[in-house]
Chain A
């Protein structure tokens, strides 16, 4: 086996892994606090990538379809600033979704709420197609991507952009962990995740706390979309596939564990690249298969996922 080639494949897989981990984190944050799987997470993320696009490009001829694009004054931002703005917009949109769509339906069953998020997926998708058209658009890269823009490690090329997305993802994750572990709001968030009714009995306002959760989750989603829009090209369905992999990653990791989401994203990303490369009868077209197999195997061994909470209870 060619070790340099193996290393190269691992390096190449790391970029997608970071994107899957990021969106998986978004899913996990909401699942942990509300027990709800948000199927619209990917589309909400894509929407923020369009916002970054508008912030970058301003309303100019390439943006057909009018709508929102025409309303924003043409002050192009630098790429990092546009992505930052998009993440903030994404957080606000996440918070609004909780407040306007999820909280008023608090009495509804979980299945009904999941259906609501599927509705939101379709609505967001159509809205993007309406406003920005369905054609793919070039989205500039935040990190240099040209030839030669890489580190060389043991003969394999590790692209700057791969290192960059991991630095951003890990920084955001560290920020999240610090927030959860060391702030009062974080503690309240953890308490609400465990038991909303008990949290209310210590004076935590459950609704607003969940709203923060949706905001944080959508922030991670926005990062996933904005960081991958360059390599996959920006279009309304950009995150659909990624969402499926992120679901697999989150499930693998245990659905309620941020650590699990991170590792799940890595496992899915790596198996998606490595297994077709070394198992001859699985072509790249079938690259979703290894991810599925990895998921089933791990869930057979650990039904709660790699890091999922095995609920402890003692009377």
Chain B
């Protein structure tokens, strides 16, 4: 058990184990994400970041406990977890290359039954005008940056409570990454959307996050506020290139 670090907890993960076949990849993770906050998990390649997000969404075999707000979602199926309000932008972005930009956004709203889907599409087109220009183009033909924008917009079309982002900076040019993180920050401030970001690129992630964890070989080895982590010598050496 962990003591709640935050006033209000958006996501709570207790003693999370995950394995692929006989290989245990996560070895008892405990962490929380503050409601309306931005948390980041830092870790090197192969540390288990992607697996952590997959385990939260029940996309691999796990044990432990995952609580979303007040709901226990440990045994809930992936599609159902999305319906409960978790949007996951997986590594590789999770868009559908052979569908148009517009269809990608529409499928993002698959779980919704309200009549405001079109309004949301318009809103995203205002925020990302390049997507509007390319709405009839196949997603696979967009540039890397545009695809990442589409991936995020696609994920937010389901009006989630919690957004999981798996290395959103991967494969993007530095300027585009900066722009993207700025948008994440704005999104969090304006809508109070809870976010959990996993990253290797610690600089921008820590700038934007309130709280962070470091994962090594499937275990959390360090945690603290973003400021604490930024000033930690071990973090500076391993993740900030100091």
Partner-A contacts on B (CB < 8 A)? 57, 59, 78-80, 82-83, 88, 90, 94-99, 103, 106-108, 110-111, 138, 140-144, 147, 154, 158, 171
Contact = CB atoms under 8 A, between A and B. Distances in A.
Nearest to B144: A315
A313 B98 CA distance: 9
A311 B98 CA distance: 8
A200 B99 contact: no
Given A191-B96, A204-B110, 17 more contacts: A188-B107, A191-B99, A191-B107, A191-B110, A194-B99, A198-B96, A199-B96, A200-B79, A201-B90, A201-B94, A202-B110, A202-B154, A203-B80, A203-B83, A312-B141, A314-B97, A314-B144
Interface of A: 184, 187-188, 190-191, 194-195, 197-206, 309, 311-315
B155 to A, nearest CB: 8
27 contacts: A184-B106, A187-B106, A187-B107, A188-B107, A188-B110, A191-B110, A194-B97, A194-B99, A195-B96, A197-B90, A198-B90, A199-B107, A200-B59, A200-B78, A200-B82, A201-B78, A201-B88, A202-B107, A202-B154, A202-B158, A203-B82, A203-B158, A311-B97, A312-B98, A312-B140, A312-B141, A314-B143
Given A198-B94, A202-B108, A204-B107, A190 B99 contact: yes
Contact of B98 (A184, A194, A205): A194
Nearest to A191: B107
B144 A204 contact: no
Contacts of A205: 79
Contact of B82 (A195, A201, A312, A315): A201
A77 to B, nearest CB: 39
Contacts, number: 79
A203 B96 contact: no
Most buried by A among B97, B107, B108: B107
B110 A184 contact: yes
Contacts of B96: 190-191, 194-195, 198-199
B141 A314 contact: yes
A312 B79 contact: no
List 3 A-B pairs, minimum CB-CB distance, nearest first: A203-B82, A203-B111, A312-B140
Contacts of B144: 314-315
A197 B59 contact: yes
Contacts of B98: 190, 194, 309, 311-312
Contacts of A203: 79-80, 82-83, 110-111, 158
A313 B140 contact: yes
A116 B85 CA distance: 38
Given A191-B96, A194-B97, A315-B144, A202 B171 contact: no
A199 B88 CA distance: 11
Contacts of B107: 187-188, 191, 199, 202, 204
B118 to A, nearest CB: 13
B146 to A, nearest CB: 10
Contacts of A195: 94, 96
Nearest to A206: B79
Most buried by A among B94, B138, B143: B94
A33 B192 CA distance: 38
A198 B78 contact: no
Given A188-B110, A201-B57, A203-B110, A315 B90 contact: no
B97 A312 contact: yes
A187 B100 CA distance: 11
A133 to B, nearest CB: 46
B154 to A, nearest CB: 7
Contacts of B88: 201
Nearest to B154: A202
Nearest to B157: A202
Contacts of A202: 82, 107-108, 110-111, 154, 158
Contacts of B147: 314
Contacts of A201: 57, 78, 82, 88, 90, 94
A188 B106 CA distance: 10
Contacts of B99: 187, 190-191, 194
B171 A315 contact: yes
Nearest to B82: A203
Contacts of B82: 200-203
B169 to A, nearest CB: 13
A198 B97 CA distance: 11
A315 B146 CA distance: 11
Contacts of B154: 202
